[in-house]
Amino acid sequence: MLKYSLKRLASSVLTLCIIIVVVFVLLRQMPIEGYFDNYEKLDEFQIQVKLTQLGLNDPVLVQLKNFFVKLLHGDLGTSSRYSAGTPIATIIANKAPVSIYMGVWSMAISLIMGIPLGAAMARSKSGFWDKFGTAFIVFINAVPSAVYYIFIQTYGTEALGISMLFERENWVTWILPVFSLSLGSTASYAMWLRRYMVDEMNKDYVRLARAKGVSNKKIMMKHVFRNAFVPMIQYIPASLLYTICGSIYVESLYSVPGMGGLLVDVISRQDNPMVQALVVIYSGIGIVGLLLGDILMGVIDPRISFVKKEGAR
Amino acid sequence: MAGLFESKKRRLEDAMSEELKKQLDTELSANEDELFVLADYDASTAEKTGYSNYSYWGSTVRVFLKNRMAVLMLTVLALLLLFTFIQPMLPNQYGPNAITTNPATGIQLSNQAPRMTTVYHTLPAGVELFGEAIDGEWYSVSNVMMEIKARKNFLLTEYGEDWCRIEYDGKTGYVKNNFQTKLKLPEDPTAVPYECKSNFQLSVYTTPTDYSNDGEVFYTTLDSIEVIDGQNGLVVTKEGAQLRNIPSDKAFIFGTNNIGQDLWARVWSGTRTSLWIGFVVAFFEALIGIMVGILWGYVRQLDRLITEIYNVIDNIPNTIILILISYIMRPSISTLIFAMSLTRWLGMARFIRNQIVIIRDRDYNLASRCLGTSTTRIMIKNLLPYLVSVIMLRMALAIPNAIGSEVFITYIGLGLSVDTPSLGNLINEGRKLVTSASLRYQLIFPTVVLSIITIAFYIIGNSFADAADPKNHR
């Protein structure tokens, strides 16, 4: 297990390095306006001085080396337009807590709603809950989230009689963003749990338990649910981390001062160093999520061995 | 249900053992010599085992048609797709970027609520109206010829319960006689003519009938009226004259946006754009996914390399790739297609690779290889048919997915410009107006069309995948 974890960690680090290199090289192709907060007012000489100062006139490989060295010291660079001169790490440190709270809450809610729904669907095959859940899942999966978020915001704020924008101190304004964020994961938890439970229910040990006269409720809780939940554990860290970095869409819709809204902001202001830093952070979070999922899976279910691994995950 | 199945199974088993027993009995009772007679080659018996009336596609279609919801969705989607392509060819359509103006004022017809062009009145010949030419073709007409200010004297020449004929400023017209106009009438109002006045402003009508419904102006063409008094003056209707609510026989079925563009035209044009993006992304997904997947699964030397590439790309959140590519490249349809295609093929390739690893060493493929079949032919004829169901599913899901991604990218501000209507930028434009309830139609129409398309593709894709899976064929 340890050997596997280390190997998996090494490959994750390698992947992250490749991603950073690619992102870095791609962003060098962007117009240089994105490094100045007052590009129009500067003459050619001043621009060159600033570029040299920022190290942007160095060969790409040198820049890359500098970037990695800084990164290892926890320095993500400084913002150029969004909040000129502020270290990016500081900006993110200010923004992250809201996203983390929101992510944890929405995760909790989606587990609370999704798992009972999935279990109810599996139990009442082609009954009410199954039909209701299927309709819900089809809706959430088929309709772009961008669309139903808007409607939740419009009609939700009207129904609750609150403003459309988020206020940190007012807990009522937390409800809609957190609820919106949790819908997607709720649907996917319900869908996967139902599928895994139905698979488990058709297995021989369940038939044996039934033949022995174990009550249906007990079979469901003690056998089917437990076994069906194992493959789902793999996805929980990844989805938690994704929600923590904030659904980009929900946060900017409600003007939540979190990390997701930040990405939209810096893109619209063409702040190259910040786009670069945020893309690296998001990729890093994604990689860590998958890594944790795989390791957690191995820890929880001893039957799974990773001796021969194929493909990803 | 389960009980029924169990008892059926038991009965079947009983019947089978009966059958076997009978067979055994006949064999045992037979003459020993007869049992070991050489069987001759019998062509018809050989045919019997070789023939099955099972056809893969036939069964797939049959199973699919059993799902009523999917068939309904398929019909809706087919009609919708057909309509999107027919719509520009229909008569009287605006261009998606054409800005409509009110010909009378030259002002853009902005934020017009959705309405059909309606013929409010069809008049007989000879009705006099007050008309004003607004352009070569259209006239605004009303039966109000002038207004009389409050407390002006005029001559009442004919008294009626509802209408009175008056003369004022050398012109003859009619005024309403009701509680609103409050005409100051003498004790015997029928003794005409007499001087009269009102405390309020009065509208003078050309005819004793209010066609214009309290001053709302109607529009009509030269086909319906005859001009008598030059550019601005009296007109007389022809037989069957039609008065319309908007200065056009074209309708704003979905209303107009804030610069007076017809939302109906824009929604269908946007649907075409979004579907085009969706179809092209689905096509590339299938093309790249199948090619890479087959190579990955079939050519052992490439396995390691492609697995590593897959791991790297798969580790980055898709959204981030999408955003990054759209940020770096100029916003256009091809940028969006490129950015989406960059990640979509991964899932398809991985699935196909896994299936091929399972199937490639089955006996019939070994046999095929021994007979000298080329690798290409083995791939196309032996392997691909196994993968049809999932390929179709993923292609069907690629379309709603691409449409959703387009909406998202537009929201971030990296999408198409508004000159190229797409469902994404229509929704984004509508979203900005969502705070005022009367303008919400600008968000609702594109979202409804989008939701119908995405839900239909999702349901059809899933039911087709179920139908294409041979396990569900009976």
**Domain locations along chain A:** 2-72, 95-261
For residue A11, the chain B residues in CB contact (below 8 A) are 311
| B338 lies within 8 A of chain A by CB | no
Over the stretch A261-297, which tens digit does the pLDDT of each residue have? 888 888 878 788 888 888 888 888 888 888 888 888 7
* Contact yes or no for A147 and B314 at CB 8 A: no
pLDDT for the residue B103: 60
The residue that leads in pLDDT, A307 or B51, is: B51
pLDDT for the residue A246: 61
pLDDT for the residue B41: 76
Alpha-carbon dihedral angle through residues B273, B278, B280, B285, given to the nearest 10 degrees: 160
Region A12-17: mean pLDDT is 85
Q: Which residue of B has its CA nearest to A288?
A: B315
The CATH class that applies to domain B56-84+262-472 reads mainly alpha
Cα dihedral sign, B42-B46-B48-B51 = negative
Helix (H) or strand (E) holding A214: none
Over the stretch A47-73, which tens digit does the pLDDT of each residue have? 777 777 777 777 777 888 888 888 887
For residue A266, the chain B residues in CB contact (below 8 A) are none
For residue A139, the chain B residues in CB contact (below 8 A) are 455
Over the stretch B57-97, which tens digit does the pLDDT of each residue have? 788 888 889 888 899 999 999 999 999 988 888 876 777 87
Across chain A, what does the average pLDDT equal? 81
Identity of the residue in B314, B317, B431 whose CB atom sits nearest the CB atom of A312: B314
pLDDT for the residue A313: 34
Asked whether the ipTM of the predicted complex exceeds the cut of 0.90, the reply is no
For residue B323, the chain A residues in CB contact (below 8 A) are 248, 263, 267, 279
Cα dihedral sign, B65-B66-B71-B72 = positive
Q: What CATH number should be reported for the domain whose range is A95-261?
A: 1.10.3720.10
For residue A19, the chain B residues in CB contact (below 8 A) are 312, 315-316
Q: Which residue of A has its CA nearest to B396?
A: A142
pLDDT for the residue A245: 64
Interface test with A, best of B312, B318, B329, B443 (most A CBs within 10 A): B312
Q: Which residue of B has its CA nearest to A312?
A: B311
Identity of the residue in B353, B435, B455 whose CB atom sits nearest the CB atom of A142: B455
Q: Which residues 314-333 in chain B show a CB within 8 A of chain A?
A: 314-317, 319-320, 323-324, 327-328
- 3-class secondary-structure state, position A78: strand
Q: Which residues 411-440 in chain B show a CB within 8 A of chain A?
A: 411-414, 427, 431, 434-435, 440
- 3-class secondary-structure state, position A87: strand
pLDDT for the residue B252: 74
pLDDT for the residue B170: 78
Sheet containing B225-227: order of strands: B119-123, B241-244, B218-221, B138-142, B128-133, B232-237, B225-227
Band (A312; pLDDT cuts 50, 70, 90): very low
pLDDT for the residue A147: 84
Q: Is the pLDDT of residue A176 over 70?
A: yes
Q: Specify the range with the lowest mean pLDDT, choosing from A43-47, A152-156, A189-193.
A: A43-47
Domain ranges of chain B: 56-84+262-472, 119-244
**A and B: number of Cβ contacts within 8 A:** 116
Average pLDDT, consecutive stretches of 10 residues, N- to C-terminus, chain B (474 residues) = 64 77 76 70 70 76 88 93 88 76 67 67 75 71 79 83 82 80 78 80 79 66 72 72 67 76 88 93 91 84 85 78 84 90 87 82 85 82 76 86 89 85 89 81 89 91 82 71
Identity of the residue in B315, B408, B459 whose CB atom sits nearest the CB atom of A286: B315
Residue A310 DSSP one-character state? -
| Number of separate helices (H) and strands (E) present in chain A | 14, 0
Identity of the residue in A12, A147, A267 whose CB atom sits nearest the CB atom of B407: A147
Cβ-count burial A95-116 (b if 16+ within 10 Å, e if not) = bbebbbebbebbbebbbebbbe
Band (A311; pLDDT cuts 50, 70, 90): very low
Identity of the residue in B319, B327, B357 whose CB atom sits nearest the CB atom of A267: B327
